[in-house]
Amino acid sequence: MILVMGLKKTGQSITDYLSKKDRPYCVYDKKEEVLLRYKVLGIKTYKDDEPITDRSIDLVIKSPGIPPYEPHIKYFREKGIRVISDVEFFYMEFKPKNVIAITGTNGKTTTTEMVYELLKSKEPVLAGNIGMTIFNDDRNRDDIYVLELSSFQLDNTDTFRPKVAILLNIEEDHLDWHGSFENYKKAKYKIFKNERPGDALIISADHINESEIHTDADIYRLSLDKKEGMNAYLDGDDVVFDINDFRKRVPVSKLRYKEKHNIINFMAAVLAASFFDLTDEMLDDFLGKFRLDYHRVEFVDEVKGITFIDDSKATNPSATASALMSTPQNTTLLLGGFDKKTDFTDLINLGGKKVKSMIFFGDIKDKLKDTADRLGVTNYFMADRLIDAFKKSIDIAETGDTVLLSPGASSFDEFKGYEERGDYFKELVRELKDGTIKRI
């Protein structure tokens, strides 16, 4: 008997699949209204703290958002019952041959989208943490799968084996969920754990400590700073690729997004796509058409001479630090949100030197203040919520300034996700333009 824990988009896609296959299962969720759908179908349901006593349960598929310390999960592990993620179950069911799996603390969504667009003519399947569920009953093991994978999904994999894995970088993140930085790294490293000779692992030599990488896969490296031994590197004003039979020079001037982190993302994406017969025509088509998704250093508007940038996707300090590298000195940074137990020391130090001012807000504001005070950083203001931080920013900003929402933390103290937070920020900018919001 399979137990599906967590019935949001991922869990529902799995139960739909199991139902179509006439496979017996039971379900768990915290919300009664979600469980009603299954009760009507005669499926056994468990809610919240209710003990799960069915002894026929021999496999648990859990939602990525359920942490390893959740009481039911701990109980199943103690009983020796296998607990897996949707990604592991997908691999068990379909044994796909052509998986490109992308992970990293930052840049994984952009890189995933780049790989997908590069291979779009081959009709790949885009799924995973990027927002599309991986489960569908018409999946074919010969299809190309481009999967963005979070540490939450990788943590509960045992046999998952991609043909091509990309590991971009690892910085402190999600320590509240994993318990330690070492546990977080172990989860990320599972992306290459089962790879074999002939499989590919693509790493950024600028960000990954290769001495910690133990794999049977063939390793391919990229770098902005090094050339020797690299399969993708910078040579003057060109990005150079040299991997197997794929050799190419791409002028940086042809890239729409020329920030250092996006050049790294581009390098990784092209290296991965080269394993699937990437042609010059496919690459040229990508260079002409690719656009970043919303909420990633996205220009919103210029109002009263002030430029507003939405980088709500920056949910950890290193992502915000990357954004600051491409913003002007006269920037007011909106920093705050829900505390994931990460260290903000380096970011506050950078903000003290790189921006005009910072506004700390949300659940984490006092932690940010304490860090700034300890470091002697003084260019900050305090606010309770995002709207308060926004109002403060338009009070202190002058013509020619930039207001950057790059929170460095998750959004769950006020919002359902970074998308809702970014959309709310954009709405505030629109209201300012319409005259609804006034300067304080």
Q: Can you give the CATH number for the domain in which 239 is found?
A: 3.40.1190.10
Is 405 contained in some domain? yes
Residue 137 above 70 pLDDT?
Answer: no
According to DSSP, the β-strands at 25-29 and 2-5 are: parallel
Is 303 contained in some domain? yes
Angstrom distance (rounded) from CA 238 to CA 252: 5
Angstrom distance (rounded) from CA 31 to CA 6: 9
Tally of structural domains, the chain: 3
Angstrom distance (rounded) from CA 404 to CA 308: 6
Q: Identify the top-confidence range among 295-309, 372-386, 424-438.
A: 372-386
Say if residue 108 carries a ligand binding annotation: yes
Is 439 contained in some domain? no
Please check whether residues 131 and 53 belong to one and the same domain: no
| Closest by CA position to 334, among listed 398, 400, 382, 395 | 382
Q: What's the mean per-residue pLDDT of the chain?
A: 92
- Amino acid in position 100: I
Say if residue 109 carries a ligand binding annotation: yes
Please check whether residues 92 and 58 belong to one and the same domain: no
What is the band of 438 on the pLDDT scale with cuts at 50, 70, 90? Answer: low
Output the pTM of the full model. 0.76
- Choose one of 84, 115, 134: the last residue of a domain: 84
Please check whether residues 138 and 37 belong to one and the same domain: no
The per-residue pLDDT for range 145-154, each reduced to its tens digit, is 999 999 999 9
Angstrom distance (rounded) from CA 211 to CA 349: 29
Percentage above 90 pLDDT, the chain: 77
Please check whether residues 355 and 377 belong to one and the same domain: yes
pLDDT of residue 260: 87
Contacts of 211 (CB under 8 A, 6+ apart): none
Angstrom distance (rounded) from CA 257 to CA 299: 13
Describe the strand order of the beta sheet including 331-336 as a list of residue ranges: 298-303, 306-310, 402-405, 331-336, 357-361, 380-382
Please check whether residues 398 and 270 belong to one and the same domain: no
Please check whether residues 226 and 119 belong to one and the same domain: yes
Average pLDDT of 297-318? 91
pLDDT of residue 129: 84
Is 355 contained in some domain? yes
pLDDT of residue 440: 44
| Closest by CA position to 86, among listed 145, 36, 143 | 145
| Closest by CA position to 125, among listed 146, 103, 142 | 146
Please check whether residues 343 and 275 belong to one and the same domain: no
- What is the torsion angle, in degrees rounded to the nearest 10, for the CA atoms of residue 169, residue 175, residue 180 and residue 183? -60
Helix (H) or strand (E) holding 46: strand 45-47
- Choose one of 256, 289, 322: the last residue of a domain: 289
Residue 271 above 90 pLDDT?
Answer: yes
Residue 343 above 50 pLDDT?
Answer: yes
Please check whether residues 121 and 202 belong to one and the same domain: yes
Is 440 contained in some domain? no
366: CATH: 3.90.190.20
Q: 373: domain range?
A: 298-434
Angstrom distance (rounded) from CA 378 to CA 389: 17
Say if residue 106 carries a ligand binding annotation: yes
